[in-house]
Amino acid sequence: MKAVRLFEFDKPPRLVEVPEPKLIGPLDVIVRIAGAGVCRTDLHLVEGVFPAVRDKLPFTLGHENAGWIEEVGSGVPDMAKGDPVILHPQPSCGFCRNCRVGNDMHCTGPSFFPGFDGTDGGYTELLRTNARAVIKLAPGTDPASLAPFADAGITAYHAVKKILPTLMPGTSVVVLGVGGLGHFGVQILKAMSSARVIALDMNAERLDFARRLGADEAFMSAPDGVQAVRKATDGRGADVVLDFVGERGTPDTAIKMLRRGGSYSQIGYGGTLTIPTVELLLGEYTILGNIVGSYNDLAELMELNHQGKVHITAQQFPLEDAADVLHELDAGRIEGRAVLLPPGVRQGSAQPVAAGAAAR
Quote the least distance from Cβ 162 to a second copy, whole Å. 9
Quote the least distance from Cβ 93 to a second copy, whole Å. 7
Tell me whether residue 203 is exposed, middle or buried, using C-beta atoms within 10 angstroms of its C-beta: 0 to 12, 13 to 18, 19 or more. middle
Residue type, 342: P
165 near a second copy, rule: CB under 8 A: yes
Nearer residue to a second copy within complex by CB, 126 or 167: 167
**Strand ranges inside 73-156, DSSP E:** 84-87, 126-130, 134-136
DSSP designation for 188: H
| Region of 5-13, 99-107, 172-180, 345-353 interacting with a second copy (CB under 8 A) | 99-107
Mask of contacts with a second copy, 192-231, x by CB under 8 A?
A: xxx-------------------------------------
Nearer residue to a second copy within complex by CB, 269 or 323: 269
95 near a second copy, rule: CB under 8 A: yes
Of 300, 334, 345, 357, which one interacts with a second copy (CB under 8 A)?
A: 300
Of 1, 113, 214, 286, which one interacts with a second copy (CB under 8 A)?
A: 286
For the chain, what is the largest distance between any 2 Cα atoms, rounded to a whole number of angstroms?
Answer: 61
Considering only residues 327 through 346, tell me which ones interact with a second copy, judged by CB under 8 A.
none
Give the bridge partners for 134, in sequence order: 87
- Separation between Cα atoms, residue 312 and residue 56, nearest integer Å: 33
Of 19, 77, 223, 344, which one interacts with a second copy (CB under 8 A)?
A: 77
Residues with Cβ within 8 Å of 101's Cβ and at least 6 positions away in sequence, in order, are: none
Of 20, 224, 247, 324, which one interacts with a second copy (CB under 8 A)?
A: 247
- Separation between Cα atoms, residue 18 and residue 30, nearest integer Å: 15
274 near a second copy, rule: CB under 8 A: yes
Q: Residues 262, 243: contact at Cβ < 8 Å?
A: no
Give exposure, 266-295, as e/b (b: 16+ Cβ within 10 Å): bbbbebeeeeeeeeeeebebeebebebbbb
H or E segment to which residue 263 belongs? strand 258-266
Of 272, 332, 343, 349, which one interacts with a second copy (CB under 8 A)?
A: 272
Nearer residue to a second copy within complex by CB, 19 or 308: 308
Considering only residues 15 through 44, tell me which ones interact with a second copy, judged by CB under 8 A.
25-27
- CA-based nearest residue to 235, from 226, 245, 246: 226
Nearer residue to a second copy within complex by CB, 2 or 236: 236
Quote the least distance from Cβ 318 to a second copy, whole Å. 31
| Region of 10-18, 61-69, 88-96, 198-206 interacting with a second copy (CB under 8 A) | 88-96
90 near a second copy, rule: CB under 8 A: no
